[in-house]
Amino acid sequence: MVPTFYGGGVVRRLLATLVVLLALVSVAHPATTAGASTTTVPVDQGDRSVIPDPNTGREPTDPGDRGGWAQLVLFGLMAAGCAVIFGRVLWAGHQRSRLNQAQPEE
């Protein structure tokens, strides 16, 4: 017996969703053909690296550049916002604990 919730619509929706997902997965990952060939790219290309060495960049010229004043102001605002939220949570916890201690037991 198939469970029917809300008139059986839930089961039909789940089955329809499952069919759609299976169709999307089969379209997204088609089977590879036997005659397909792949090429490889050499990994080691000398002294080049994805991560640059320290102090090899350039000085910021625009406010939005890495290390520019706008980026530093944004970092300061985010840090201040986090500090305000953290302080507010601490204050609310302190107030709640004072309220719990002030109530006499009956």
Distance in angstroms between the alpha carbons of the first and the last residue of the chain: 55
Count of structural domains, the chain = 2
Tokens matching residue 8:
């059986």
Which has the closest alpha carbon to 58: 69, 73, 68? 68
* Distance in angstroms (rounded) separating the CA atoms of residues 35 and 90: 65
> For 26-47, what is the mean pLDDT?
66
Domain of residue 70 covers 65-101
Is there a domain that residue 58 lies in? no
Cα dihedral 43, 48, 53, 56, rounded to 10, equals: -150
3-state secondary structure of 48: coil
- Does 2 fall in a domain? yes
Q: Is the pLDDT of residue 37 over 60?
A: yes
Tell me the per-residue pLDDT of 77-99, one tens digit each, with 9 for 90 and over: 999 999 999 999 999 998 888 87
